[in-house]
């Protein structure tokens, strides 16, 4: 969720939002268009020329090929951005276990430091 709140430069946030909006609009449109093309191809095979049916089937294959290509490229791009963000935005806190040779005042200081940690930091 932190990555979605602040993924980096403003253009990355705008690109992610634009791709999500496009995905939400293009998916139902591609599905309906593909179904209508295949339905028309079936009707043409039954009642009229096979050439028009083959053309509609080719149109359906082209439509879904372009849709899948766009989806995979977009998904790969955003995964690459996320992995790059994850690699460069790490916050790690090293907790040292309490031992018998550490004086009591230093143990209490270590305890206070662990209480002040930020929710964005990872405990190791």
Q: Is residue 44 part of a domain?
A: yes
pLDDT digits (tens, 9 = 90+) for 15-68: 888 899 999 999 999 999 999 999 999 988 888 888 899 999 999 999 999 999
DSSP 9: S
Q: Is residue 51 part of a domain?
A: yes
Q: Is residue 94 part of a domain?
A: no
CA-atom Rg of the chain in angstroms: 27
Q: Is residue 27 part of a domain?
A: yes
Of 65, 60, 41, 61, give the one whose Cα is nearest residue 51. 41
Determine how β-strand 122-123 pairs with β-strand 92-93: parallel
The domain tally of the chain equals 1
Q: Is residue 121 part of a domain?
A: no
Beta bridge partners of 123: 93
Q: Is residue 65 part of a domain?
A: yes
Average pLDDT for the chain: 79
Average pLDDT over residues 96-100: 70
Domain of residue 69 covers 10-89
- In the chain, what is the straight-line distance between the N-terminal and C-terminal CA atoms, in Å? 20
Q: Which is more confidently placed, 6 or 106? A: 6
Q: Which of 1-5, 10-14, 57-61, 105-109: highest mean pLDDT? A: 57-61
Q: Is residue 96 part of a domain?
A: no
Burial 29-59 (b: 16+ CB within 10 A, else e): ebeebbeebeebbeebeeeeeeeebeebbeb
Indicate if the alpha-carbon torsion angle 71, 76, 78, 79 is positive or negative: positive
Look at residue 2 and tell me whether its pLDDT is greater than 70: no
Q: How far apart are CA 72 and CA 114, in angstroms?
A: 42
Look at residue 1 and tell me whether its pLDDT is greater than 90: no
Q: Is residue 82 part of a domain?
A: yes
Look at residue 77 and tell me whether its pLDDT is greater than 80: yes
């Amino acid at each position: 969720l932190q990555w979605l709140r602040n993924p980096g430069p403003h253009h990355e946030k705008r690109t992610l939002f634009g791709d999500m909006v496009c995905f939400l609009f293009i998916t139902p449109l591609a599905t309906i268009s593909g179904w209508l093309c295949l339905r028309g191809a079936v009707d043409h095979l039954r009642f009229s020329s096979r050439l028009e049916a083959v053309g509609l089937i080719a149109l359906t294959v082209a439509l879904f090929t372009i849709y899948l290509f766009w989806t995979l490229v977009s998904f790969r791009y955003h995964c690459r951005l996320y992995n790059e963000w994850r690699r460069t935005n790490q916050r790690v806190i090293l907790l040292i276990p309490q031992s018998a040779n550490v004086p009591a005042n230093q143990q209490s200081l270590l305890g206070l430091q662990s209480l002040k940690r930020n929710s964005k930091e990872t405990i190791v």
